Amino acid sequence: MSVLYLDRRSVGVSAASGRLRIERELDTPPVFVPIADLQHVVVAAEMAIPVRVLAMLGQEGVAVTVVRPRHNADAFAMLGRPHADVGLRLAQYRAVTDADACLRIARAVVAFKRMAQRHALRAMAQQRPDCRLPLRQAWRDLSAVALARAGDADAVRGAEGAMARAYYGGLRAVLPESLGFRSRLRRPAPDPVNAALSLAYSLLHGRAAQAAWSVGLDPMLGFLHAPTRGRDSLACDLAEPLRPAVDLMVWRLFAEKTLRAEHFRSQRGACQLDKAGRALFYPVFEHHARHWQVVLRGYARRLRHHLCPRPEA
């Protein structure tokens, strides 16, 4: 199964005989993609996709993630046919309204994320021994946050925020000052690092929503991220422990000079990857995302079993 990226303006998309027909530039032959080979379609440019095509993708269980071209922190997903296990969703709804259940799950999510943050800091220190002092300080500050003492989900969220501040201090130390990264900022992303992180997080979020949906969970009802209007809160929960792995990927893209400052442009205070930069970014992301998709599905299945410990219907 593969992922199709549609990242060019005015690309024409149609479907017939179980295949997508992708019309590109003039004098360029169309590309045909069998829908049966697709798992996910990412739309990251202004284009018109016929309703018939979207319906066909949904019927075949192909998820569609739409990333707003000028707002890489925003992503919307169409997830295909729902899972048949209504009982699981009822169990999820009950757990979301249970303060103890929310605390247990939120604490587990943040504990997994802290493990991943420590791994990322260790990897950075191995490659940047000249930055070991600030990385060691970030490790200490991260470890000092008393997650076990958090008595409710709000306290867990506060602990997660404190960990993030410590961790991003370490990430800042290994990035060139010329990139302008000071802290995690979005909407809009003010610098190349935040722009790359926003795009990667948005793509990861789409995979997390698909993982939740595929096992019968409602992506909008989260535990660490409280349910709120217009947000796939459970998808945010599932993606959270993988964010440090995404950070490592982005850091290495800059450290290895795969991405450089000239691959970005600023418009109205928002920094964005240009066409050449995206052509370099997507293959690297997809290489890692194949593994991340497996991990996300594992998280979703573990949560499904926790909420409703019985064989899948």
The DSSP 8-state label assigned to residue 220 in this structure reads T
- The dihedrals phi and psi of 111, each to the nearest 5 degrees, come to -65, -45
Please tell me the distance from the alpha carbon of residue 19 to that of residue 12, in angstroms, as a whole number: 14
Q: Quick check: 205 and 242 in contact, CB under 8 A?
A: no
Please tell me the distance from the alpha carbon of residue 34 to that of residue 279, in angstroms, as a whole number: 22
Domains in the chain: boundaries: 2-67, 86-307
Q: Quick check: 271 and 191 in contact, CB under 8 A?
A: yes
What is 2-67's CATH number, 3.30.70.1230, 3.40.50.150, 2.60.40.1170, 3.100.10.20?
3.100.10.20
pLDDT of residue 313: 43
Per the structure block, which two tokens stand in for 90? 């009822």
68's CB contacts (< 8 A; 6+ apart) are 74, 75
pLDDT of residue 69: 57
In this structure, the number of other CB atoms found within 10 A of the CB of residue 29 comes to: 7
pLDDT of residue 79: 67
Q: Quick check: 217 and 297 in contact, CB under 8 A?
A: no
Alpha helix (H) residue ranges in 86-189: 86-96, 99-127, 132-144, 153-174
pLDDT of residue 132: 93
pLDDT of residue 26: 64
Instruction: Extract the residue ranges of the chain whose pLDDT is less than 70.
Output: 1, 10, 25-27, 68-84, 310-313
pLDDT digits (tens, 9 = 90+) for 209-253: 989 988 999 999 999 999 888 789 999 999 999 999 999 999 999
Per the structure block, which two tokens stand in for 283? 């293959």
pLDDT of residue 304: 94
Q: Quick check: 65 and 286 in contact, CB under 8 A?
A: no
Instruction: Give whole-number Cα distances, 90 to 85, 93, 100, 153, in Å.
Output: 9, 5, 17, 21
Class of domain 86-307: mainly alpha
